[in-house]
Each structure stands twice: as structure tokens, then as C-alpha cells.
Amino acid sequence: NVGWQAGDRWLLAMPLARVGGLSILTRCLAARATLVLAPRFDAAGLPGLIEHERITLASLVPTMLALTLDAHPGWVAPPYFRTLLLGGSAASPRLFARSRAARLPVVVTYGCTETCSQIVATPYEARFDAEPWGCGTVLPGAELRADGERLQVRGAMRMHGYLGEPALDPNAWFDTGDHGRIHPDGHVELFGRRHDLIVTGGENVYPAEVERVLEALPGIAAAAVFGVPDETWGQTVAAALVADGTPPPDATIVAHLAAHLARHKRPRAVVWVDALPVTAAGKPDRGALGARVGELRGLKA
């Protein structure tokens, strides 16, 4: 999809213990291409590193990209930087808009450890306007189908099986557990990862959908939506919010949510935080938000 060009240099700033980082190493080895290993991810130093090392390709998760753009307002990617692979979690419309302003060529990807990284990606030709493509189209060699909303995959890139369990049938479909839709034009829309799903009163809520709505409201820089155990509903929806300047009043948030989301999807309580917690891979750490449950307060219309 992305291909190789003379002089390509791929930045590895992700953990090698994760398949997203490991796959950068393996593809560079297979292509005999240059890999530039960053000692760690550093949002403040990333643009300088790209320019100093003349990086042409890099892989980040959305949180890493947002932190980099926060640290460098007005930064514009150099013309030789030709692809930013963006995956691991959902990117918001606001992040896409900021990427376009920075002239970043974004290729969105979707995959999982069991498929040795990506199986879906934005077409390279659409890298300056990736948002309409969802998480992309199925890459050559992979097959993807939706059983209801459950995405299933098969192909030579799929694992043989889990350690200590019987090997999988080579022709069997593997249930990713992730939820999404394959549109008639072939682009794939990811609703949410399996471990993120909130079930409230028997209804499914995908945090990424709610987060996109919240982050579209002026005054909210970032949002992380998570489930809170509830005896009546099983779970209720809550959100941790990062302010962009002056936080919007509760009434404004409630009205905005009511205009864009069904009732069961609307957060009932929120907590304002200085920054959202992230995992070692740079993804939103929803599990860590459970420690903030005691700080949640109900939204007042």
C-alpha cells in the first residue's frame, strides 16, 4: 500500500514488545530499509527528530500524535515526510483536522496481534484526506467479513493459534472480537475494540463514538469514555474530560449530547482531569480511569 522509495527511513518510537512496534522492525528488515530507533517517545522532540534524521515514514497511535501537535502548535510536516501510519485506537475528527493543518500524510490502519499487525489501511493515495475512509480498506492477502457487527479475518498473516491450545484450522475465520461494518464501497468502519465496549441496560455503547461527540464541543480538548458498574443498569457511561481553555458549563454539555446521541449513550457523570492516562503503548488507558470513579459528578442540565 505505502511501498518503498529510495532513501526511506522509518521511525520506530513505539514499544518493540507490541506488535505495532515489532512490525516496523520486521518490514524494514524484509525490505533492507533503514530503521531509526528512538530511545523513547518524546512529543516535544519528535518534529526535531523527524527533521534531524530526515524521517520519511513513522508509526504512531492517536494519543502520541495529539501530544505532538499540542507541543508544537503550527508545526508543518516537511515535504519528504510521506507517511504517518496511525492506528491502535480511534482518531477523532478534530485530530484529523489538526493533521490536515499540519500537512501530515496520514494512513489509518487497523489490525491486531493475532494477525501480525495491520490488515486494513487507508489507500496511500488518500493520505492527505484519510477521514472519509474510516480505518481503510482490506489489504491484499487478507479477508475480512462482518458477522453481525463482529469482525472476522482469515489469511496467511493470521497466527497458528494461542500457546497451549489446539492449532487453528488454516481456513477458519478468526473472530477479532472487535465491532465494525464493511461498507459497500469496501471501506471499513470500526465501532470499537472488544475490551472497550460498555453494556448499559442491555444496550451497547462504543466509547469512540461518544468521545468524538464530546471532542467536537468547544472547550473540550480530549475525552475518554468508560463504564462504571451499576446494580440497576449493569454499567453506566462516564467520561474523563480535558479542558481546552474554559470548560463548557454542564447545561451546554448536556444539550450537545442530547442533540447527537441516543439517551443510553450519554455520559451521566464526568470528571475533569489535566491529562488522560495512557498505556505503555500510548493508547487511552480506560482501566486506569476506574480509580477516578470517586471523583465523578453528575451532569446537571
Helix H or strand E segment including 145: strand 142-147
User: Which is nearest to 65 in space by CA: 228, 243, 282, 241?
Assistant: 282
The domains located in the chain, with CATH, are 9-192 (3.40.50.12780), 198-298 (3.30.300.30)
User: What pLDDT does residue 15 have?
Assistant: 85
d(CA 127, CA 105): 5
Would you state the pLDDT for residue 94? 86
CA distance 284 to 287: 9
- Strand 57-60 versus strand 9-12 pairing type: parallel
Q: What is the pLDDT along the chain (301 residues), one digit of tens a residue?
A: 999 999 999 999 988 888 889 999 999 999 999 999 998 899 999 999 999 999 999 999 888 898 899 999 999 999 999 999 998 877 888 889 999 999 999 999 999 999 998 999 999 999 999 999 999 999 999 999 999 889 999 999 999 999 999 999 989 999 998 889 999 999 999 887 777 888 898 788 989 899 999 999 999 999 999 999 888 788 899 999 999 999 999 999 999 999 999 999 999 999 999 999 887 777 778 778 888 888 999 998 7
Return the pLDDT at 130: 93
Cα–Cα distance measured from residue 133 to residue 185, given in angstroms and rounded to the nearest whole number: 10
3-state secondary structure of 27: helix
Residues in contact with 241: Cβ distance below 8 Å, sequence separation at least 6, in sequence order: 214, 220, 222, 223, 247, 270, 271, 272, 273
Joined together, the cell numbers standing for residue 113 give: 496481534
